[in-house]
Homo-oligomer: A and B are copies of this chain.
Amino acid sequence: MSASEIRPLRVALLGCGTVGGAVLRLISEQAHDLTARIGRPVEVAGIAVRRPAHHPDVPQHLLTTDAHALVTRDDVDLVVEVIGGIEPARTLILAAFEAGKSVVSANKALLADDGVALHAAAAKSGVDLYYEAAVAGAIPLLRPLRESLAGDQLRRVVGIVNGTTNYILSRMAETGAGFAEALAEATDLGYAEADPTADVDGFDAAAKAAILASLAFHTPVTAADVHREGISSVSATDVARAAEIGCTVKLLAICERVPNGDGDSVAVRVHPAMIPTAHPLASVGGAFNAVFVEAEAAGQLMFYGQGAGGEPTASAVLGDLVAVARNRLAGAAGQGPSGYADLAVRPMAETPTRYHVSLDVADKPGVLATVAHAFAEHGVSISTVRQNGRGDAATLVIVTHSAPDASLSATIAALRDMPAVRGVTSVLRVEGLS
């Protein structure tokens, strides 16, 4: 065996926070197994960080602030990018490709923003870009979508892919607390960041939805294509109303193939919704993630596990690292995702959804007829109505059938203007009802 055959595969690590630190530790702890599984030892060639002084626990000779020099070094074979954010991650990944190095990334924002260009650059250089860790942490999801289901036709992918919002909504359901109170608790416990915008307003989930939809439907989808609503307007009333109809409120990332006369389209959206408590996603509590998949032949599948955290995310990074290392030794890059189907992305206004609406109305004859008329006028058909009288006032709780989202929101606007309606106390979409 020549010296070059036993030379270890050398990895450049970009970023050494929670995930990077866990990657570093696992590479060292599992050295024996990684060598056996790859067929060659793996070693860390260098670690790029902004402030070396903040990393007293890692071998100091590996630290560098010059990430660009590190990824292009001749003795580096593979790059692991766990910096996050758009820049400098994008530039560094492209530089790695140019230098012939495969990249494993956990960067959902970048992949959701610019996945097509990055994949094209990887393909041009004949190297790999893998990113299982970018969606739902440790849960094997992208590889099953890309490979295991490659012979099937996907209909829907519905996921709870953000642990922070799932924790907040779980606590609201358990304690009856409002959003602000549950968020404060999540922040205290470290489940929400000091600036919770990315989680609470759905940006994180929207990036993941874009990645999932791209793979599921062989269609380029970016975060900008995703209709996004966060959970800050979910009220304790919404959560209570959900419980009354046997539902629970979850922030869902929903990727659907919508059949169309002149060719299917895809609809991708992130918003809070009521789902029946019997739905497999309803019992996914706290910081866990789960993704529910419906395919023509496979039927219903669910993938469940830890969606964040250093160790779980590092597990997904290392799985990809083994794959790209094997590909490198085999001398061939793996097949990237395909965008051949290139389906149109359907605007939210035209996407079929269902609403749950709760109204305070005057309890007098004809109110239900007036309200029902408003729905009918907008072409929205009603599935169920429940009327609870109380003195001179009453509550109407209405669940609609499926209709274009714009028709539903126009109906709500009309209801708000109606003299017979004293208040629209809760509006939330409903998913998974038969």
Check A305 for interface membership: any CB of B closer than 8 A.
Answer: yes
Check A191 for interface membership: any CB of B closer than 8 A.
Answer: no
On whether the beta carbons of B311 and A299 are closer than 8 Å, the reply is yes
On whether the beta carbons of B301 and A22 are closer than 8 Å, the reply is no
On whether the beta carbons of B312 and A297 are closer than 8 Å, the reply is yes
On whether the beta carbons of B152 and A148 are closer than 8 Å, the reply is no
On whether the beta carbons of A300 and B295 are closer than 8 Å, the reply is no
On whether the beta carbons of B297 and A315 are closer than 8 Å, the reply is yes
On whether the beta carbons of A151 and B26 are closer than 8 Å, the reply is yes
In the complex, 23 of the A-B residue pairs with CB atoms within 8 angstroms, ordered by the A residue number, are A26-B297, A33-B218, A37-B338, A132-B148, A138-B295, A138-B301, A140-B140, A140-B144, A140-B301, A143-B148, A149-B315, A151-B318, A152-B315, A283-B283, A295-B315, A297-B312, A298-B306, A298-B312, A299-B309, A299-B312, A301-B303, A302-B304, A303-B303
A306 CB, nearest partner CB in chain B, Å:
5
On whether the beta carbons of A305 and B311 are closer than 8 Å, the reply is no
On whether the beta carbons of A140 and B148 are closer than 8 Å, the reply is yes
Within 8 A of B (CB), among A83-117: none
Contacting residue for A314 out of B33, B143, B297, B335, CB 8 A? B297
Copies of this chain, tallied across the complex = 2
What are the 5 closest A-B residue pairs judged by CB atoms, nearest first?
Answer: A151-B318, A140-B148, A140-B144, A138-B298, A297-B315
Check A413 for interface membership: any CB of B closer than 8 A.
Answer: no
User: B residues within 8 A CB of A304?
Assistant: 280, 301-304
Check A30 for interface membership: any CB of B closer than 8 A.
Answer: yes
Report how far A305 CA is from B36 CA in the complex, Å: 32
On whether the beta carbons of A319 and B151 are closer than 8 Å, the reply is yes
A residues bordering B, Cβ < 8 Å?
Answer: 22, 26, 30, 33-34, 36-37, 132, 138-140, 143-144, 147-153, 218, 280, 283, 295-306, 309, 311-312, 314-323, 326, 330-332, 335, 338, 340-341
User: B residues within 8 A CB of A153?
Assistant: 30, 33
User: B residues within 8 A CB of A317?
Assistant: 151
User: B residues within 8 A CB of A340?
Assistant: 36-37
A30 CB, nearest partner CB in chain B, Å:
7
On whether the beta carbons of A299 and B295 are closer than 8 Å, the reply is no
Report how far A315 CA is from B323 CA in the complex, Å: 23
User: B residues within 8 A CB of A311?
Assistant: 296-299
User: B residues within 8 A CB of A296?
Assistant: 311, 315
Contacting residue for A143 out of B144, B300, B316, B335, CB 8 A? B144
User: B residues within 8 A CB of A283?
Assistant: 283
Q: Considering residues A140, A299, A335, which has the most beta carbons from chain B within 10 angstroms of its beta carbon? A: A140
A415 CB, nearest partner CB in chain B, Å:
38
On whether the beta carbons of A218 and B37 are closer than 8 Å, the reply is yes
